[in-house]
Amino acid sequence: MIVRMININTRIKLFSAGLLILLLISCGKKQERYIDQAEIVAKVGDRVITADEFKYNFEFGLSTFRQGPDARKTYLNYMIKELLLASEGYRLGLNKSEYVQSRLERRRYNTLLESYIQTHVRDKVDIPDQEVRDALKKSTVTFKLLILPAPSQNEAEQIRAAASESSLSAYLDKKLQQAEMPLEDKRKYQTGWVDFLDLPPHVLEKVVDLDMGHTSEPFRFGEGYAVAEVLDINRTSITQSELEHGSRKRDIQARLYNIEADRIVRGLMDSVLTPMQVRVKGGVVQDLTNPLYEWFQAGLPDNQSIFDVIEDTPDSARDYVEPIKALMDETLVTMNKGEKTVRDYLEHMDYYRKALGQSASFDDFSTRLTTEIGRWIKNDTFVNLADQEGLADDPGIQRDLERWEQKWTYDMYRHESVKELSVTEEEMKEYFKHRWRELDIANVDTTRFYKYKNAVHNALLHEKQTALLEEEINELKNRYPVWIDHDLLYEIDLVDSLKSSQTSYFLRDKFSGQAVIPIVDMKWMGF
């Protein structure tokens, strides 16, 4: 029997140091007990902007905001505007809205998960330099493998015996030729160039001393077993300098770090999850897989919860949404302290769709879904443990949540303030007739209004929004007095050269994909 090969080159990504950056930044009404008053660059009412917050916001903000003769003051003024609007949003209770609270909940979840991993995994990884050098020397030998899976050890032994007459490659060629219907290309079962770090230890043990053309003994592979053959071997040289430093050494160091971190995570999972007796209902997963795959193929709703579609399903989506709706209250996972339903998983998946959306086929999707369900259980467990250990009380985490709550409250207030504004056809035509030069377009025939209608609409709407918000900001300064420490503002050590001011950097945490810090809203520049 021939089984689809599993990609053996999959690796765990290196954890980022995003949380360390988060701990450096502070801003917010409830944070003043953590803040050195000498580090406050501005106050808006009883809320503050610290020097560190300004530094990171400025350096990772949109470059357009960092240009001009007094970029620091200009950028700080935008931050103050947002803080004024956020302060009024708090007064109106917009920080309690679903928009803000749902984002805070996800932010808290991801930050606690990262904090737990930082404490119990990253802080425990220690790779001695000699181990890195030894691994670098070994990695100079790479090879290509043919790996043929089998459902059981007995069938893998039968394949090995049959292949001993010639080679595993010849055996596979023969099987593919005998098939009544064309199967996958032989290359589906071949690896690229791999070294000893790419292979699990139990696989490496079977192939490291294997002569080319010979078939290995069976080894565990995926849900079954497999045998392998070495197709080609390549050896490269390495210099003493490369053993001391350089990109090759850094790459090996990162790979060893990932392997050790993965080992620690597996140990944590064994010690924590095994006693919980976690069981995934295979039948329910199977029933969920096909309609969920169809939904992903058709396209999940953008910027909308999937539950909105489940509750009010359009006719065009009934074939795949209705079966999912029928499964909502089915038990998906059981454990000794409770259970989780399909609804529970979908609530998680609603915000974490990326991995499933990258599926290349139904089989790939099925594998990813099983993996994502396992990751969800693991992450939920780690977050609960982080809560029990009091990691949520860490001042850095509290400051991070307060700062993002402030940013999202600003978003909510801005939206509520401008949502009723509109632009008429007459206003657009008047703008295009007299002010078309303000648009980023060439000299045009003014009769071609239809071609630039969207650009005119957006320019006018942005103009109206900005005018309304500026008027409100001027009034809010009376309610929330603004104070700026100009001396401190110009003493802050910034990366603000001419070249850097023309480049925008978007800082995201590799661990979660989240933005590390809130930056000035791009909508101040355009709609």
Residue 467 placed within a domain: yes
Q: Based on the domain organization, do 201 and 309 belong to the same domain?
A: no
Kindly report, residue by residue over 152-208, the tens digit of the pLDDT: 999 999 999 999 888 999 988 888 877 655 556 778 889 999 988 888 888 888 888
Q: Based on the domain organization, do 145 and 87 belong to the same domain?
A: no
Q: Please count the structural domains in the chain.
A: 3
Residue 351 placed within a domain: yes
**What is the percentage of the chain residues whose pLDDT exceeds 90?**
50
Q: Which one of 362, 388, 414 terminates a domain?
A: 388
- Kindly give, in sequence order, each residue whose CB lies less than 8 Å from that of residue 505, ignoring residues fewer than 6 positions away: 59, 60
Residue 265 placed within a domain: no
Alpha carbon distance 171, 174 (integer Å): 5
What's the whole-model pTM score?
A: 0.76
| Range among 84-93, 196-205, 245-254, 457-466 rated most confident | 84-93
Q: Based on the domain organization, do 402 and 360 belong to the same domain?
A: no
What domain range includes position 487?
18-91+394-524
Q: Which one of 235, 264, 294 terminates a domain?
A: 235
Q: Do residues 196 and 132 lie in contact, with contact meaning Cβ atoms separated by under 8 Å?
A: no
Kindly report, residue by residue over 323-380, the tens digit of the pLDDT: 999 999 999 999 988 899 999 999 999 888 888 999 989 989 999 999 999 989 999 9
Q: Based on the domain organization, do 440 and 383 belong to the same domain?
A: no
Q: Does 231 have pLDDT greater than 60? A: yes
Q: Based on the domain organization, do 363 and 407 belong to the same domain?
A: no
Q: Based on the domain organization, do 383 and 411 belong to the same domain?
A: no
Q: Based on the domain organization, do 410 and 510 belong to the same domain?
A: yes
CATH of the domain at 167: 3.10.50.40
**What is the percentage of the chain residues whose pLDDT exceeds 70?**
87
CATH of the domain at 413: 1.10.4030
Residue 270 placed within a domain: no
Kindly report, residue by residue over 433-455, the tens digit of the pLDDT: 888 888 877 666 656 777 888 88
Alpha carbon distance 73, 79 (integer Å): 10
Kindly report, residue by residue over 117-133, the tens digit of the pLDDT: 889 988 899 999 999 99
Residue 44 placed within a domain: yes
Which stretch of 23-27, 73-77, 195-199, 266-270 has the lowest confidence by average pLDDT? 23-27
| Range among 225-234, 403-412, 455-464 rated most confident | 403-412
Q: Which one of 388, 422, 448 terminates a domain?
A: 388
Q: What share of the chain is helix, strand, coil (3-state, %, to 5)?
A: 60, 10, 30
Q: Based on the domain organization, do 372 and 410 belong to the same domain?
A: no
pLDDT for the residue numbered 51:
93
Contacts 24+ apart (CB under 8 A), 319-323: 319/291, 319/294, 320/291, 320/292, 320/294, 320/295, 321/291, 321/295, 323/287, 323/290, 323/291
Whose tokens are 């399903």? That residue is 313
